[in-house]
Amino acid sequence: MSNNQVIQNSGLFRVGDRVQLTGPKGRMNTITLQESLTFHTHRGILAHDDIIGQPDGSVVTNNVGVEHLALRPLLVDFVMSMPRGAAIIYPKDAAQILAQADIFPGATVVEAGVGSGALSLWLLRAIGPAGRLASFERREEFADVARDNIATFLGNDPQNWTITLGDLAETLPDTMPSQSVDRVVLDMLAPWECLGAVSEALKPGGVLLCYVATVTQLSRVAEAIRGTGFYTNPDSHETMIRGWHVEGLAVRPDHRMIGHTGFLITARRLAPDTILPELKRRPSKTDFSDADVEAWTPGALGERNVSAKVMRKRVRAAGTSAELSKARDLDAG
């Protein structure tokens, strides 16, 4: 099977398939099917062989009669259950990134801060085989997890995706020619440090989107974008999702919701030598200096580190899933 093709995502369950099992209380577990293996819970044992050969959407019974619904996970399910090197971008934010950054089939996209590969999967699906995704990651162990997660879901290593190790500001100029990139998505602690390299790579009219977690980061990157003089005025927002309980006449909001995960800030690249007209605003008391910005958002933001032991475990889990998925792809071919 060609690397531009996607593995079979329908039909009977096969060895190497990832399967999402939902128990009677709604608890979900994701497994990778292998011959002669078993899935254990406190409510019994379910043999993988009892799932292999069944159609997608089947109900299977374990050794004590407990039923489980077996489904192939959707991409939204996969990214929430895959091994993680770094925190992922949640599906609610990924959906907004695809919309706000206007990711289109055939686009050339730069992504920095690949993390565990969740956003990379959404971007690859959006750009299609005619597009190109160039990802950049500073930490090798995160890049390894991302590669394996993407291979697990797609069944192969996509030919239109590259991942470069190193700092974006240093590696982007050597990787992407000037004005060759349609869209840039930055998910990093200090995106303002990369604006020079990004501005050189983006085509006029191209979209820059930054994903940041805190209001201090949001403030600093917004002012940094304005300060370059290369972009339209940035637009900032966040997305919150609240589910609803709908059962008969019992219709009410869920008690829990997906609240703040991050802010999205977007701006478009101006043509060379273009000066953006100033917006007419009322006089403001919000004047500030560079020292104020540094005090508000320290340059050294720190970094949450995963312990080496946990990281090794996640790398192994991602690698095993990738090998099984690729083996299935070869068998199908």
Are 57 and 116 contained in the same domain?
Answer: no
In a domain, residue 329? The reply is no
Domain boundaries, position 34: 12-73
Residue 283: phi and psi, rounded to 5, are -55, 140
What was the pLDDT predicted at 1?
Answer: 44
116 and 41 in a common domain: no
Which pLDDT belongs to residue 288?
Answer: 60
Q: Is residue 144 part of a domain?
A: yes
Which is it for strands 263-268 and 235-237: parallel, antiparallel or unpaired?
antiparallel
Instruction: State how far the Cα of 35 lies from the Cα of 234, in Å rounded to an integer.
Output: 53
Q: How many residues does the chain have?
A: 333
Tokens 């990778």 map to which residue?
32
Q: Is residue 315 part of a domain?
A: no
pLDDT of residue 318: 80
Residues 154 and 253 in one domain: yes
Same domain, 97 and 159: yes
Of 240, 274, 308, the residue at which a domain comes to its end is: 274
| Whether residues 83 and 205 fall in one domain | yes
pLDDT in tens, the chain (333 residues): 444 444 557 789 999 899 999 999 889 999 999 999 999 998 899 999 999 999 999 999 999 999 999 999 999 999 998 888 788 899 999 999 999 999 999 999 999 999 899 999 999 999 999 999 999 999 999 999 999 999 989 988 999 999 999 999 999 999 999 999 999 999 999 999 999 999 999 999 999 999 999 999 999 999 999 999 999 999 999 999 999 999 999 999 999 888 899 999 999 999 999 988 876 555 555 566 666 666 655 554 555 567 777 777 777 778 777 787 777 766 665
Same domain, 256 and 123: yes
Residue 79's φ and ψ, nearest 5 degrees, are -70, -25
**250, 188: one domain:** yes
CATH number, residue 190: 3.40.50.150
Are 23 and 115 within one domain? no
List, as one string, the DSSP characters of 145-209: HHHHHHHHHHSS--TTEEEEES-HHHHHHHHS-TT-EEEEEEESS-GGGGHHHHHHHEEEEEEEE
Q: What is the pLDDT of residue 323?
A: 80
Residue 132 shares a structural domain with residue 204: yes
The percent of the chain in helix, strand and coil, each rounded to the nearest 5, is 35, 25, 40
**Cα dist. 89→59, 113, 181, 212, 262 in Å?**
31, 11, 22, 10, 9
Distances (CA, A) of 223 to 115, 265, 309: 26, 11, 39
Tokens of 150: 């993407």
223 and 187 co-located in one domain: yes
CATH number at residue 33: 3.10.330.20
* pLDDT at 319 (0 to 100): 78
Domain membership flag for residue 99: yes
Q: What is the pLDDT of residue 302?
A: 53
Last residue of a domain, one of 34, 53, 73: 73
User: Do residues 27 and 160 both lie within one domain?
Assistant: no
Domains in the chain: how many in total?
A: 2
Residues 50 and 196 in one domain: no
